[in-house]
Amino acid sequence: MHDRPPPLPASLRNHYQWLLARSDAPPSRLLDIGAGQGRLLSLAGEAVRERLVGIDPKRPGERADSRIARVIGDGQRLPFAGNSFDFVVETETLEWVRDPVSLLREAARVCSPDGLVVTDDTDWDTLVFAAGDAKLGRRILRAFCDSGPNGWIGRMAPSLMRRAGLRAIEVHVRVIAEQEFKPGALSFWQVQVIDEWLRAKALVTTQELNDWRADLHQAADCGDYLFSANRYVCVGRPA
């Protein structure tokens, strides 16, 4: 079977298009650290001219796009020579990394002197799911934010970049918003992540999670649903 990523939610497509436009010209060589399902790579393929590479510790399936190289590896020890790329990006990867400064140093090492290193991370404390039971929603989100990987890493990214030797650092805050709660929406996927994480950790009861999902569906059916989240984007240049 082909390792074809699922369609990008419109909210995320718009965000990624803005992200790729941080370069003065369409990048010719792009590296995605923590590429996951390759959704950013697929979108980047519409603009990147020469080389698209994604690296992730998980084994990818068969490539759906022959122009995209998928590499199994560690972002803290990139198997590439210096000056191999002119746009190096991570999206929601730093929160899982034990030593984020080493990842950013590696990103700077493989980036060309006039290229860009970009971090893009959701701030978990800014997740908003508008629904009827606000008290239950706060309990669910607090349990998730306080128990998982570092969901505040985006707030630390400028400092981490400076420690990694990057310069001319720009900081942007992007708000992603949706009014739909259905398969294919970013917030629907986010709820699945939260649900699976909290069930595995047994931090809230199964009934509470079921009630929360039902509340979200009811709000969406009534036209009262809203999701929003802040994404912190930092852009730096190799020293």
**What integer pLDDT is reported at residue 221 of this predicted model?**
95
Task: For tokens 């996951």, name the residue.
Answer: 36
Res 2 pLDDT > 50: no
Type of residue found at 28: S
Of 35-44, 54-63, 187-196, give the lowest mean pLDDT range.
54-63
**What integer pLDDT is reported at residue 56 of this predicted model?**
92
Task: For tokens 């009262």, name the residue.
Answer: 224
- With a CB cutoff of 8 Å and minimum separation 6, the contacts of 103 are 33, 75, 76, 90, 93, 94, 97
CA distance 31 to 52: 6
Res 117 pLDDT > 60: yes
- What's the topology of domain 10-237? Rossmann fold (3.40.50)
Buried b / exposed e along 44-57 (16+ C-beta atoms within 10 A): beeebeebbbbbbe
CA distance 120 to 154: 7
CA distance 184 to 112: 36
Angle of CA points 50, 79, 39, to nearest 5° = 50
Average of per-residue pLDDT across 162-180: 96
Judge contact between 162 and 156, C-beta under 8 A: no
Mean pLDDT over all residues of the chain? 91
Tell me if residue 130 falls in helix, strand or coil: strand
Alpha helices in the chain (DSSP H): 10-20, 39-44, 100-110, 134-147, 153-163, 186-201, 206-221
Q: Domain residue spans in the chain? A: 10-237
Cα-only R_g, the chain: 18
Please give the share of the chain, as a percent, with pLDDT higher than 70.
94
Average of per-residue pLDDT across 136-159: 94
CA pseudo-torsion sign 82, 161, 12, 194: positive
Res 1 pLDDT > 50: no
Tell me if residue 106 falls in helix, strand or coil: helix
Average of per-residue pLDDT across 37-58: 86
**What integer pLDDT is reported at residue 224 of this predicted model?**
94
Of 66-70, 88-92, 146-150, 170-174, give the lowest mean pLDDT range.
66-70
Task: For tokens 């994404």, name the residue.
Answer: 231
**What integer pLDDT is reported at residue 14 of this predicted model?**
95
List phi, psi (to 5°) of 63: -70, 135
Average of per-residue pLDDT across 124-132: 93
Average of per-residue pLDDT across 61-90: 85
Angle of CA points 232, 168, 107, to nearest 5° = 70
Instruction: State pTM to two decimals.
Output: 0.92
